[in-house]
Amino acid sequence: MNIYYISLGSFCHPKILLRETNRMISESLPFDFNSSPNLSNIALILKELYEKKTYEIELEEILTVYNENELCVSEKNKMFIVHFFKDYDLISSVTKYPVSANLLKPDKVEEVKNKFKKRFEHLYDILKNEENIICFLRIENYENSYWDEELKFLTEIRSF
């Protein structure tokens, strides 16, 4: 029996907390160090992972630049991919955001998509093993009046 602590995004804080408290951390999982505005979007991703046994990110927009040269890129279910793209990964210079993710270099996009595909496959393997104990972590640093509904939607996803 293994215990897995799985970050459900929000910001980098869940994974940082795991590190700071010396919890067992497996290889990187898809929501580690990424941002997501609400739990419902994470539940949509997990639902697709459950139904298709895989999940492929589809990049939509480059939302902004932060930390001097890192790009924040949204994907179809509004997970914000951070720490993976830099401003030098753009095909051309950009002066105003948001812009289409089509402005990212295709080889870099493919590299990041493959990295996430492997992370989602690893997450699926963890979730489908009935001997594993799963502890999901999410830290929201804002008032969320929809928390009850979001949590209910998440828990109604069929078990792996």
Spatial contact of 19 and 150, defined as CB atoms under 8 Å apart: no
**Torsion sign across C-alpha atoms 5, 6, 8, 14:** positive
Taking only the tens place, the pLDDT of each residue in 61-117 is 999 998 889 999 999 999 999 899 999 999 999 999 999 999 999 999 999 999 999
Taking only the tens place, the pLDDT of each residue in 43-54 is 999 999 999 999
Q: Which residues pair with 45 in a beta bridge?
A: none
Spatial contact of 85 and 64, defined as CB atoms under 8 Å apart: no
pLDDT at 25: 64
Please state, in angstroms and rounded to a whole number, the distance separating the CA atoms of residues 34 and 104.
18
* pTM, rounded to two decimals: 0.86
DSSP designation for 31: T
DSSP designation for 18: H
Query: Could you state, in order of their start, the residue ranges of all structural domains in the chain?
Result: 3-155
